[in-house]
Amino acid sequence: MQAWPEHIADEAVLEEVMTRPDPALVADLAAVPGDILVLGAAGKMGPTLCRLAKRADPTRRVIAVARWSEAGLRERMESWGIECLTADLMDRASLAALPDAPNVVFMAARKFGSSSQQELTWAMNVLLPAMVAERYAASRIVFFSTGNVLPLVPVASGGADEAYAPAPVGDYAASCLGRERVFQHAGASRGTACFGVRLNYAIDLRYGVLHDVAAKVFTGTPVPLRMGHANVIWQGDANAWTLRALRHASAACPVVNVTGPETVSIRWLAGQFAQRFGCETSFVGEEAPDALLSNAAHAFTLFGYPRVSLGLLVDWVAGWVAQGGRALGKPTKFEVRDGRF
C-alpha cells in the first residue's frame, strides 16, 4: 500500500508525489518495450506523465515533443532524464522528422477558445490526429479524449458507460469524437494498435474541479451549481493508467472512460472546503437533474481503483489553496452545460 503524505508543501513535493510509479505500472510497461514518444508533452499533464514513465523504467528512452512556450519547463524535464524535442506537430515536415517509436502517447489538443476559432479546434482535434495516426501507423498509440463526447445523464444513473451513444454538444466535444473516429479508422484500415482515454476530470492541486471549487469558497465567490455533480481522478492515477493502456492498445481501438468511482456533489464539495477553511460558502443556481458523468467500471477492471482517495484529494487541495499555492490559471469550466468553451 502506497504511503501518501497528509500535506503537500510545495510544487517540488507535488510533482514527486504525482510521479511515484507502482508495481502495476512497472509490470505493464515491461510488456511494451521500447522508446515512449509523448506528443504535446508541455500541457497540464504531459510533464508529470513523462517523469512518471521515466521513473517507472529509468533505462527507457522517454522523448517529449512540444513547442516549449513555458519558460524553464524544457530544462526542468531534461533534468529528469527526459529527452526534449521541439516541433510544430501541424507541420508535416516537422512531424515526419520526429524519431520512430514503438510507443506513442498523443496529448496535443485544443479546448479553451474552441467556440471562437472553430477551424483551429477541428484542425488540432481531428486533422492532427489523422496525421499522427498515419505517421505512427506501426506504433502503439494511446490518445486522450474527453467525457464531453457523452450525453448528460441523470445524476442517479451512475454515469454513462462506454455503451452509451456519444452525443457531443459544441465544437470541442464534436471534434474530440472526431479524434476518436480517426484513430478507430487507423485501427480498422491499417491495423494500428490504439487506445482512447476518455478522461473526466484530472486533479492536480494547481488546477482541476476541486481547485476551482476550493478557490471560490476561499475567496467568498459563489459556487455555481447548475452542473451540480462531477467525476474526478488524481492526475497521478490518470497518467499511470494512460501509460498502462499501451499494453491494451489494439486494432479494435478501445475507448475507455477514465475517472474516479464517486459521483461528487459540487454542493457537498464546497461544504467540505468551507469546513476546512473555517468559513461560510454561497451558491448560485440550483442543481440540474442531469450532469456530465462517466462510469469507469471497465477501467477499474483493467487498472484497479485509483490509489488516491477523494477524501485525501480534498485535504490536499484545501491545504494547497489555504497556503497560497500556485494556480495554473486554467479553469476546467466544469459548470458549462452548452458545450461552449
Query: What does the alpha-carbon distance between residue 188 and residue 85 come to, in Å, rounded to a whole number?
Result: 31
- Has residue 217 been placed in a domain? no
**pLDDT by residue (tens digit) across 124-166?**
999 999 999 999 999 999 999 999 999 999 999 999 999 999 9
For residue 135, being part of any structural domain is answered with yes
Q: What is the pLDDT of residues 254-271, one digit of tens each?
A: 999 999 999 999 999 999
pLDDT in tens, 203-254: 999 999 999 999 999 999 999 999 999 999 999 999 999 999 999 999 999 9
Structure confidence at residue 86 as a pLDDT band (50, 70, 90):
very high
Domain count, the chain: 1
Does residue 183 lie within any of the structural domains? yes
The rounded Cα 179 to chain-centroid distance in angstroms is 15
Taking CA atoms, 60 is separated from 26, 52, 139, 319, 341, in Å, by 12, 12, 16, 35, 38
- Considering the domain boundaries, does residue 60 fall inside one? yes
Residue 196 included in any domain = yes
Which CATH number does the domain housing residue 251 bear? 3.40.50.720
Is 109 a member of any domain? yes
Taking only the tens place, the pLDDT of each residue in 63-75 is: 999 999 999 999 9
pLDDT of residue 113: 58
Q: Look-up: residue for cell 459521483?
A: 263
Number of Cβ within a 10 Å radius of residue 157: 14
Whether residue 193 has pLDDT greater than 80: yes
pLDDT given at position 110 = 82
| Omega cis (within 30) before 201 | yes
Average pLDDT on 189-202 reads: 97
Nearest to 320 by CA among 211, 230, 202: 211
Question: For residue 182, which of 136, 245, 118 has the smallest C-alpha distance?
Answer: 136
**pLDDT for position 111:** 72
Which domain, by its residues, includes 130? 11-150+161-202+233-259+293-299
Does 156 map to a domain?
Answer: no
pLDDT value at residue 280: 96
Query: Over the stretch 87-114, which tens digit does the pLDDT of each residue have?
Result: 999 999 999 999 999 999 999 988 755 5
Mean pLDDT for the stretch of residues 300-315: 98
Assign 269 to helix, strand or coil.
Answer: helix
Question: Whole-angstrom Cα distance, residue 41 to residue 249?
Answer: 20
CB 302 within 8 A of CB 247: no
Residue 207 belongs to some domain of the structure: no
pLDDT tens-digit series, residues 285-303: 999 999 999 999 999 999 9
Per-residue pLDDT at 339? 76
Residue count of the chain, please give it: 341
Q: Count the Cβ atoms, other than its own, within 10 Å of residue 54.
A: 22
Banded model confidence at residue 34, pLDDT cuts 50, 70, 90? very high
